[in-house]
Amino acid sequence: MSIAELPFTDTERGADPVPESAADRPAHGLDDLRAWVDEIAALTEPDEVVWYDGSLREADRLTKLLVAEGKLIRLNPEWRPNSFLARTDPGDVARVEDRTFICSDDEQDAGPTNNWREPSTMRAELREVFAGSMRGRTLYVVPFSMGPVGGPISQLGVQLTDSAYVAVSLGTMTRVTDDVLALIDAGAPWVATVHSVGYPLVDDHDHRRDDVAWPCNETKYIVQFPETREIWSYGSGYGGNAILAKKCFALRIASVMARDEGWLAEHMLIVKVTSPEGRAYHLAAAFPSACGKTNLAMLRPSIPGWTVETIGDDIAWLRQGPDGRLRAINPEAGFFGVAPGTGPSTNATAVDTLWGNTIFTNVALRDDGDVWWEGLTEQPPAHLIDWRGEDWTPDSGRPAAHPNSRFTVSAAQCPAIADDWDAFDGVPIDAILFGGRRATNVPLVSQARDWRHGVFLGATISSEQTAAAEGTVGELRRDPFAMLPFCGYNMADHWGHWLAVGEKLGGDAPAVFQVNWFRKGDDGSYLWPGFAENARVIEWIVRRIEGEAGAVQTPIGRLPIADELDLDGLDLAPDAVDALFRVDQDSWLAECDLTEEFFDRFGGRVPPALRAELASLRYHLR
């Protein structure tokens, strides 16, 4: 079969017309899966095809293979048993948002915040670059479940990849098991994902080329086809671009599935909070990448009697349960966390999680065979091998670990993991939090007046840029619902979908709050200590849920009554509390103008309810 004849044009995996919604998708069994694998193998021309079963035995085999090939460095087992260091190409260290495409049938469905390409044109480009891309390599077939296998909120997927590193990482980040194949054989639908580093080891003349430790291609594509539930990734070995179950499936494709089926796929952590009285609550929170999500997900409260347990640190899928309440799962099985800034004083739980069985990417290597990154210890070692493989000392004038270096580890290994983190039906959500990095304006904590106001807060999140994405670090950018790089359809329609979900939930809808740990004083210093002390804010949120804490009504939401926020023992500046909750009329009116400009990007697709919220905010400020 020629490349031009491969059925990747206007039909789903060459079988049926593109369905109008996920509910119309035909179920496909193992025969369809095998046929699809054969088609991709014919296109990419690997030396062999290996079905990865996710077992410890197979993971051990592949990590040994990667070590032998120089693609992983085995760490000193005395310090990090069964752990490894990976280094990516210096030009392949973060998500490539300018090469990430949403190829919906209608350009307007992608919206102004996504890169759109016409689907058939993009498919033609992909056929060109994928042709022969796996020559000399192995194609790994990785069937996986996002969420508990067979659960009511869970979904299935299959990734084809020529990277053993990706296959092993998928075994940590998802549930890779033969039970997934059994469900597919029984007719369960699945999302099709294909990945290649774009570095064939055999050229067109059958000449084998010298391999490099972490190959990639200068040409990169991260492509989502929402209508047919497909993902194609080419040219990158970095986790966020290559582990397609993560952002590509769990957010970009899943958000479209959620829109079509009436649920939510969100960039949110989930925690279980237990009060001194023994009452448990579940909170979901949306923060942009590298803005403290993992720290909050693994919070060790500074105030006595409170406990916080981890359910998920990055992604939440939320669906209304039979009892009418919004229930959530963490669809992932592992953590893919940012290493720099993670240390005993900021996130002791994460440090304890990484004792072993971990793959570190782009951190520094110590002389004793352990790893190090900025923030792990107060004093750096006298000598390291940095993330590029070069000698490093504290006088080198450059970071030893890349600012977006990562760790990949099983969630079950976290010492703070909740006993219901893997609940088959999910956990009931009592409150939803939105937050970002704001040096001004946004108070430490506020409560939305109702669900509609809460959607307005989520739609107007803005945050300072971090190293996890492309752009100027420190630059302020809008990141509604912390989903700007991850929503698989028009963001304004996403806000409308949230409003619709709220209408279905009615009186069972969770309370909505906004938090900001990063407000600064006039001298540029942080007003709030953050980290473990954020438990004091969580305490007020829980007391609001219980109806035991009061609030002051302001134009931007409900703020705590000053003496009801536990500040005992904090060494705050004399005017810090006032500054943390100051609502400056002129600054907020200017913010309203910026919000209107942002809404105008979406034209008539912005829900009228959010335009009304903006008008109400202006009115009450004046």
487 assigned binding-site residue: no
Which single residue is written with the structure tokens 């740990």?
A: 517
Known binding residue 507? Answer is no
Angle of helix 56-68 versus helix 164-173 axis, rounded to 10: 150
> How far is Cα 521 from Cα 174, in angstroms, rounded to an integer?
42
- 290 annotated binding-site participant: yes
Phi, psi of 104 (to 5 degrees): -75, 160
The answer to the question of whether 437 is labelled as a binding residue is: yes
| C-alpha separations of 155 from 42, 171, 191, 332, 494 in Å | 27, 16, 8, 11, 20
Rounded CA-CA distance 172/59 in Å is 10
103 is catalytic: no
447 phi/psi in degrees, rounded to 5:
-110, 135
Answer yes or no: is 82 a known binding residue: no
Residue 267 assigned as binding residue: yes
Residue 294 annotated as part of some ligand binding site: yes
Q: What is the distance between the alpha carbons of residues 216 and 200, in angstroms, rounded to a whole number?
A: 10
What Å distances lie between residue 26 and 29, 99, 210, CA to CA? Answer: 10, 30, 44
Tokens at 553, concatenated = 């009504």
HSE-up of residue 167 (Cα within 13 Å, Cβ side): 29
Cα 442 to its chain centre, rounded Å, is: 24
Catalytic residue among 248, 291, 414, 487: 291
Q: Is there a contact between 85 and 214 (Cβ–Cβ < 8 Å)?
A: no
Residue 569's contacts (CB-CB under 8 Å, 6 or more residues apart) are none
Instruction: Report the phi/psi class of residue 26: left, alpha or beta, with left for phi > 0 and alpha for psi in -120 to 50.
Output: beta
Is 404 annotated in a binding site? The answer is: yes
| 609 marked among binding-site residues | no
Does 333 show up as a binding residue in the annotation? no
Residues 6+ apart with CB under 8 A from 155: 145, 146, 147, 190, 191, 249, 254, 257, 331
Please give the Cα distance from 576 to 563 (Å, whole number). 14
Is residue 406 annotated as involved in ligand binding? yes
**The residue type at 259:** R
Asked if residue 314 belongs to a known ligand binding site, the reply is yes
List the structure tokens of 306.
């409170």
- Is 291 annotated in a binding site? The answer is yes
Q: Dihedrals φ, ψ of 517, to 5°?
A: -80, -5
How many angstroms separate the Cα of 199 from the Cα of each of 46, 193, 218?
12, 18, 10
**Alpha-carbon span 372 to 365, nearest angstrom:** 6
Q: Is 519 labelled a binding residue?
A: no
The verdict on whether residue 534 carries a ligand-binding annotation is yes
Q: Which residues contact 484 (CB under 8 A, 6 or more apart)?
A: 113, 288, 477, 478, 491
Residue 507 structure tokens: 């009186």
- Is 531 among the annotated ligand-binding positions? yes
247 assigned binding-site residue: yes
Tell me how far apart the alpha carbons of residues 413 and 411 are, in angstroms, rounded to a whole number.
5
Token representation of residue 254 = 């899943």
Parallel, antiparallel or unpaired: strands 476-478 and 462-464: antiparallel
DSSP string, 454-470: HHHHHHT-EEE--TTSS
Give the integer Cα–Cα distance in Å for 77 and 431.
42
241 labelled binding-site residue: no
Q: Which residues are annotated as a binding site for GTP?
A: 290-295, 406, 437, 531-534
Q: Which residues are annotated as a binding site for Mn(2+)?
A: 247, 267, 314
Active site residues: 291
Q: Which residues are annotated as a binding site for substrate?
A: 95, 238-240, 289, 404-406
Q: Which residues are annotated as a binding site?
A: 95, 238-240, 247, 267, 289-295, 314, 404-406, 437, 531-534
